Structure 1
Amino acid sequence: MIKGYLAAAMLVGLVGAAMPTVSMAEEGAKATAVRSEVGKPIQAALDLIKAKKTKEALAKVRDAEAVKDRTPYEIYLTERVKAQAYASAGDAMAAARAFESAAALPGAPAAERTTLLSAAAGQYYSGRDYAKAAAISGRYLKDGGTDATMRTIYVQSLYLSGDFAGTAKALSAELQGQKKPSEEQLQMLAQAYLKLNDQTSYSKTVERLLSNYPKKEYWQSVIYAVKQQPGMSDRLALDLSRLLRATGTLRTSAEYEDAVALALQQGYPIEAKKAYDEGMAAKIMGQGSDADRHRRLGDMTNKQLAEDKQALGTQDAQAVAAKDGNAQVNLGYNYVLHGQADKGLEMMEAGIKKGGLKRPEDAKLRLGYAYYVAGKRAKAIQVMKTVTGTDGAATLAGLWSIYLSQSN
C-alpha cells in the first residue's frame, strides 16, 4: 500500500541512546567494594573505551573476568563494562547479550535494570534480531520503563519480526485516545491489519489516515479496499467513480471509460461528458490504439447530451404527479448537473420527502453529492452523515464526509 513507510518510521539513530556507561568515579561508595585486582583492569578498560581502543579494552575486561571468587557486584560491573566495550566496537549482538546478561545478574542494582534492558533492546534492534528486541523492550515496558524510544522500538520490532497481531494490539492500545496519532504509527497499523487480512480494521485505519493526513495514495488505497468489500453493491459503481474523480485518483484509461459509460447508462450524459473531457485533458484517454474507440465514445456522449438538453424539463409534471419520489430525485439531480442547482436540489429534496423510493439511502448519497456539485459543502456533509445501511452507500458517504471536511 504505502512504499517506504517503514523507513520513515525506523529510528535507528535511537538504538544506542539509552546505552549506559560506567566510570569508577561514578560508582562512589560502591567502587570501594571492588577489589583492586578487578577494579584496575576495569578502570583501564574504561579509559581504553574512551580512547576508542576497544580491542585492548576487551582484553582488560577478560583480565577482570579471570579473577577468582568475584563478588556478585564485581561480576555485574565486569559484564556491564564488557557490554559497553562491545557497543563501542560496533558489535551490536555481543553488546546486546552482555547488557541482557548484566540486567539479569544478582549483583545488578535494581535501579539500573531497566536502563540495562533498554540498552540491550536497542542493541538487538541495531543487530536486526527483531524478535529479541521485541521481547526485551517488552520486558522493559512491563517493568515500568517509560522511555518513549523503547515503546517505538517495541512496536517496530514486533512488526519487523512478523508478529503482526502483536503489532496491531500494541499500536491500537497506544493510539487509543490520541486525537492525532503520527502518520508513521497509522501507516504501520494499517500495514499490520493488511498482513492479517483484516480488511475492516485496515479500512478504518486508512480512513483515520485520510482524516489526519489526506494524500492521494491513501485515497487510492481506501477506495480500492472499499471496492473489494463484500457488501459493496455493483449498483454503486458510478458513485465510486464520482469519489475517484473528486479525489483525483482515476488513474487508467479503463477507469475513465467506466466513468463515462456508467454515467451514460444511468441517464446522465452531462456527467459522462465531464468525465470524458477530464480524461482527454489529462491525456489518459484518446491515446494510442484506444484513440479511435474513445473518439466514438465521445461522439456517443455528445449525441446523448444534445438529446438530454432538448428533453430537459419535459418530464417535470409527470414526476411531480407520480406516487413515489424516484423520478423527482433523478430529474432533480440532472438539473443540478446542468447548472440549475436551486431547482434541482429542491426537486430532489421533495422526491426524498415524498418517499416510496426504491433505494432511499442511495438517494440521500446522491443528494449529498448534488450539494457538493452545487458548491454547498456544509450541506453536503450534513446530508452525507444521514446515510445509513450496510450495502456500501453509508461507507461511501463516510468517505465523502472526510473528503468534504478537508478539501477547499
Structure 2
Amino acid sequence: MNSTSRYALLTALGLAVAAVAPGAPAFAAKKEEKPSKPALKIGNEIRKPLGEADAAIKKKDVAAAEAALATARGLAKTPDEQFVVAQYSLNAAQVSGDQAKLSAALDALITAGEASGQLADDQRSQYYWFQGQFAYQAKNYTKAEASLQRAIAAGTPHADAYAILADAQSRNGKPGEAVATLQKVIDAKAAAGEAIPSEWYGRGADIASRAKLPNEFVRLTTAWLSAYPVKQNWHDSLFIYRQLGGLSGDVDLDMMRLARAAGALPLSAASNYIDYALAVYLKFPNEAVDVLNEGIAAGKLNASSSQNTREIISLSQPKIAADKASIPAAITAANGAKSSFKSVMTTADLLYGYKDYAKAAEFYKLALTKPGADAGQANFRLGLALALAGDKAGAKAAFDAVTSGAYAPLAAYAKVWAEKPATA
C-alpha cells in the first residue's frame, strides 16, 4: 500500500492559491466551469493578512506566513473565509515540510470546504484520500477508516484506498468488515476484467485467518489461487486452512493429498510428510513409502536423523510386494455383490496409492452407488483421481458435486487446481 508525501499531496490537489491583495476582487467560483460551486465571498478586512501570507509563502518565509495566517484565522468569520485561510495554510505547510502541519491544514480545508459548499466530488475524492493516508500513517485508524470511506464514496481513483481501508478496519477490530471491503472491490474488478494485486488477496487472507473466519478465508484464497496459482500461494492457502479449519482424520489426509498433487507439499514443514505417512502406512504402505521418499528427495526428511521416517519405511517397505499382489483380489471383491461403500473405497484408495488414477476413479464411482456412501468424500477423491488421470472435465464435475460438509472447502480448492494447475 502506497503512502503519500507532502509533495505528492499538493501536486495532486493543485492547491497553489492566487494572492488576495487588499482591494482585489473576491474569490470567484469560475461558474462557467463548475456552475454547481457557489462563489467565494470574503470580506475586505481579511484580505490584508492573506496578501501578506501569500507574499511570505512565495519567499518561503514560513514564520511570517504563519503569523499572517494566524491573524487571518482570527478574522475569518464565515466558512468561505475559513476555507480561503485553510488553502493558504496548506501551501504554507508544504513550504514548511512539516507533515503534522500539512495534515492539520488539510483537516481544516476539508471542514471549511464542506461548510462553504466549495468541495466537488472530484475534490472530495482527493482530499479524503490524503486525509485517510495521513491518519493511517499516524495510526489513527478510526479517522483513517472514516476518511477513506468518504474518499471511496466520492469516487477516488486510487485503488489502494480499499486496501488501506481494509487494514484500518482490521486494526479497528472489524475483521469481518475489512474482509468484506476487499472482497467487494476484488469482485468488482474481476467482473470488469481488471487485474487485482496479489497482495490484496494475501492481506485479506491474513485478516480472515487471524480473525478465524474460515468461509471468508476460503473464498478469498480460492480467488487468489485462480489469479495467482503459484506453489507458494497453494502452500500458504492449504496449510493455513488446515489449521483454521481444525482438519483431522480423512479430511486432513485428503487435504495433504491435494497439497501433494498441487506440488505444495515440498514447500511445507517436514512434519507434514510424517503426518501424511502416519495416516496411510497401516493400510496403504506403498503410498506411505512414496510420500516419505518424496520428502527425502525434496531435502525435507533424512532417514538417518528422523526416527519416524526410518521406522515407517522399515515397517512399510517389506509389505509392498504382498500389498501390490493383493490388488486383483481386491478388485474382484469390490465388484462383488457383498461389497460395501467402505470396502470399495479401500480398493479405490489402494489403486490411488499406486498411481493407477483412472482405475481408482472407476471404483470411487462404484463406491458412490453403495448404501451409506459418503458422497462428499467419494466425490472429492474421485475428482483428484480424474484430474491426475487427465480428465479435467470429469474432475470438475466431481468437485462441483461436493456442495456441503467438511469436504466442500477442499473441493473448492481442488476445482481451482484442476482448472489451473500450480506454477513454480
Q: TM-score range by the shorter chain?
A: 0.7 to 0.9
Question: Against the structure 1 CA distance between its residues 123 and 215, is the aligned structure 2 distance closer, same or farther, given a 3 Å change threshold?
Answer: same
**How is 1:6-405 mapped onto 2 (pairs within 5 angstroms)?**
9-13=1-5, 18-24=12-18, 29-31=25-27, 38-39=46-47, 41-50=49-58, 52-65=60-73, 73-105=80-112, 108-111=116-119, 114=124, 116-141=127-152, 144=154, 146-148=156-158, 151-152=161-162, 154-179=165-190, 181-228=196-243, 232-247=247-262, 248-249=264-265, 251-265=268-282, 267-286=283-302, 289-290=305-306, 293-326=308-341, 327-338=343-354, 340-349=356-365, 351-352=366-367, 354-356=369-371, 358-390=373-405, 392-405=406-419
Structure 1 CA distance for aligned equivalents of residues 315 and 375 of structure 2: 31
Question: Against the structure 1 CA distance between its residues 272 and 85, is the aligned structure 2 distance closer, same or farther, given a 3 Å change threshold?
Answer: same
Count of residue correspondences: 394
Structure 1 CA distance for aligned equivalents of residues 167 and 59 of structure 2: 34
- TM-score normalized by structure 2? 0.77
Once the two structures are superposed, residues 147-180 of structure 1 have per-residue CA deviations (whole angstroms, 9 ceiling, x without a partner) of 4368445444434555435434433443444326
Question: Against the structure 1 CA distance between its residues 176 and 206, is the aligned structure 2 distance closer, same or farther, given a 3 Å change threshold?
Answer: same
* CA shift for structure 1 position 241: 1.8
Q: Does structure 1 conserve the Cα–Cα contact (< 8 Å) formed by 2:73 and 2:82?
A: yes
Deviates more, 1:254-263 or 1:224-233: 224-233
Question: Against the structure 1 CA distance between its residues 203 and 88, is the aligned structure 2 distance closer, same or farther, given a 3 Å change threshold?
Answer: farther
Structure 2 CA distance for aligned equivalents of residues 150 and 45 of structure 1: 35
Question: Against the structure 1 CA distance between its residues 130 and 235, is the aligned structure 2 distance closer, same or farther, given a 3 Å change threshold?
Answer: closer
Once the two structures are superposed, residues 191-233 of structure 1 have per-residue CA deviations (whole angstroms, 9 ceiling, x without a partner) of 3334433232223222222222234444334323443466845
Q: Does structure 1 conserve the Cα–Cα contact (< 8 Å) formed by 2:340 and 2:371?
A: yes
* CA shift for structure 1 position 398: 1.8
* CA shift for structure 1 position 305: 1.0
Structure 2 CA distance for aligned equivalents of residues 138 and 306 of structure 1: 66
Once the two structures are superposed, residues 265-322 of structure 1 have per-residue CA deviations (whole angstroms, 9 ceiling, x without a partner) of 2x222222220110111222225642x5533322222211111123231333333223
Question: Against the structure 1 CA distance between its residues 26 and 215, is the aligned structure 2 distance closer, same or farther, given a 3 Å change threshold?
Answer: farther
Q: Does structure 1 conserve the Cα–Cα contact (< 8 Å) formed by 2:209 and 2:217?
A: yes
* CA shift for structure 1 position 82: 1.3
Structure 2 CA distance for aligned equivalents of residues 395 and 149 of structure 1: 29
* CA shift for structure 1 position 55: 3.6
Once the two structures are superposed, residues 90-134 of structure 1 have per-residue CA deviations (whole angstroms, 9 ceiling, x without a partner) of 322333223322333387452367365555444434544333233
Structure 2 CA distance for aligned equivalents of residues 139 and 385 of structure 1: 40
Q: Report the AA paired with residue 78 of structure 1.
A: V
Q: Report the AA paired with residue 278 of structure 1.
A: E
Question: Against the structure 1 CA distance between its residues 55 and 186, is the aligned structure 2 distance closer, same or farther, given a 3 Å change threshold?
Answer: farther
Q: Does structure 1 conserve the Cα–Cα contact (< 8 Å) formed by 2:344 and 2:364?
A: yes
Secondary structure class of the residue paired with 1:278 = helix
Q: Does structure 1 conserve the Cα–Cα contact (< 8 Å) formed by 2:348 and 2:364?
A: yes
Q: Report the AA paired with residue 234 of structure 1.
A: G
- TM-score normalized by structure 1? 0.80
Once the two structures are superposed, residues 323-368 of structure 1 have per-residue CA deviations (whole angstroms, 9 ceiling, x without a partner) of 345434432443354355554443443x236423543432222222
Structure 2 CA distance for aligned equivalents of residues 254 and 309 of structure 1: 27
Question: Against the structure 1 CA distance between its residues 404 and 309, is the aligned structure 2 distance closer, same or farther, given a 3 Å change threshold?
Answer: same
Q: Does structure 2 conserve the Cα–Cα contact (< 8 Å) formed by 1:15 and 1:119?
A: yes
Structure 2 CA distance for aligned equivalents of residues 164 and 16 of structure 1: 33
Secondary structure class of the residue paired with 2:229 = coil
Q: Does structure 2 conserve the Cα–Cα contact (< 8 Å) formed by 1:21 and 1:84?
A: yes
Secondary structure class of the residue paired with 2:329 = coil
User: What are structure 2's unaligned runs of at least 5 residues?
Assistant: 29-40
Question: Against the structure 1 CA distance between its residues 367 and 79, is the aligned structure 2 distance closer, same or farther, given a 3 Å change threshold?
Answer: closer
Structure 2 CA distance for aligned equivalents of residues 303 and 19 of structure 1: 75
Structure 2 CA distance for aligned equivalents of residues 93 and 183 of structure 1: 32
Structure 2 CA distance for aligned equivalents of residues 120 and 338 of structure 1: 61
User: What are structure 1's unaligned runs of at least 5 residues?
Assistant: 1-8
Superposition RMSD in Å: 3.6
* CA shift for structure 1 position 401: 0.9
Q: In percent, how many aligned pairs have the same letter?
A: 20
Question: Against the structure 1 CA distance between its residues 36 and 288, is the aligned structure 2 distance closer, same or farther, given a 3 Å change threshold?
Answer: farther
